[in-house]
Amino acid sequence: MDSLDLSQKRVVVTGGAGFLGRQVVNQLIQAGAAPERITIPRSRDCDLRRWDHCQQATANQDIIIHLAAHVGGIGLNREKPAELFYDNLMMGAQLIHAAYEAGVEKFVCVGTICAYPKFTPVPFKEDDLWAGYPEETNAPYGIAKKALLVQLQSYRQQYGFDGVYLLPVNLYGPEDNFDPRSSHVIPALIRKVHEAQIEGKQQLPVWGDGSPTREFLYSEDAARGIVLATRRFSGPEPVNLGTGYEISIRDLVELICDLMEFDGDIVWQTDKPNGQPRRCLDTRRAKALFDFEAQVSFRQGLQNTIDWYRQHAAVLQPV
């Protein structure tokens, strides 16, 4: 499709004040969107689990980019599976329907890598999304988000509603969530290493055995991909956003220790869960459909994230 001119569009970014959302707003403005036409609903004023709030959020808008999610790491997934399923399903399903009823021109839904089956051929291809059940600890969240893909496809088929669905791999970057109770692996490890250094500890305990692999996408790259899809893509098929670079948790921990100059011992807590065995995306569809490729190298992205955390650690420490 031709590139969408954003200059006169009224755009809502749910989750726009969050880690990824701030980057998406920046990328929208760089792509020509007018700052005064971008709306960022805040959860304290706009609870997307409520139908009337979804109607208010979508009224008189042209584009909805849905990033808002109730999300966390393995710990939160195990502790609150019901909340993760209900909150994410209700937010997305109602927002999509409200956007359709309001005559919104374009809906961009950001899904999750957790939607893929536990055992998926690597690299993950979008066509394998329905080839099995997700990894158990991720399943309530992943299935709730995957249901939104079905909703968008069916609304396109029945109503001609232009909704697209993107599957970003694990994100990381400055301003990430570093709260140890709910953070994902990279910010959790950076914080853990930093605190070990501050406290003079020579051992670093890490969940699992280090064997799982992951792929990580720098938040600025992810945001650029989302905005490219908003402007250039219109179709029913889900699209992966990633780098195609796979790294084991063991190598990740060693790299973070190297970049942070931590020379203590890594202690693998093999009684703790590993999560999904492997994660790496096939990224060819995004390149073919809207010319997206990641630009920030993993080492540079990690260094940027570490630098940001160290600058802000003092205010982030209390939990």
Measured at the CA of 153, the angle between CA 53 and CA 98, to 5 degrees, comes to 15
Neighbour count for residue 172 (Cβ, 10 Å): 23
Asked if pLDDT for residue 146 goes beyond 90, the answer is yes
**Percentage of the chain surpassing pLDDT 70?**
97
Tens of pLDDT, residues 41-59? 998 899 999 999 999 999 9
pLDDT digit string (tens) for 291-311? 999 999 999 999 999 999 999
Tokens linked to 118:
């536990």
Condensed to tens digits (0 to 9), the pLDDT of residues 220-238 reads 999 999 999 999 999 999 9
Contact at 8 Å (CB) between 212 and 198? no
Task: Point out the catalytic residue in the list 86, 100, 116, 141.
Answer: 141
Overall domain count for the chain: 1
Question: Could you tell me whether strands 213-214 and 247-248 are parallel, antiparallel, or unpaired per DSSP bridges?
Answer: antiparallel
Residue-wise pLDDT tens digits, 77-102: 788 999 999 999 999 999 999 999 99
CATH code of the domain in which 74 resides: 3.40.50.720
DSSP 303: H
Cα(109)–Cα(160) distance, rounded to whole angstroms? 16
Expressed as residue numbers, the domain containing 136 is 11-173+215-245+278-296
Could you tell me if residue 220 is inside a domain?
yes
Q: What's the pLDDT score for residue 225? A: 98
**Is 93 inside any structural domain?**
yes
* Rounded distance between C-alpha atoms, residue 315 and residue 183, angstroms: 16
Mean model confidence pLDDT for the chain: 94
pLDDT confidence bin for 319, thresholds 50/70/90: very low
Among this protein's residues, is 141 annotated catalytic? yes
pLDDT of residue 184: 83
* pLDDT at residue 257 in the model: 97
State which amino acid sits at residue 194. H
Tell me whether residue 61 is in a domain.
Answer: yes
Q: Decide if 184 is inside a domain.
A: no
Q: Is residue 203 part of a domain?
A: no
Peptide bond into 123 cis (omega under 30): yes
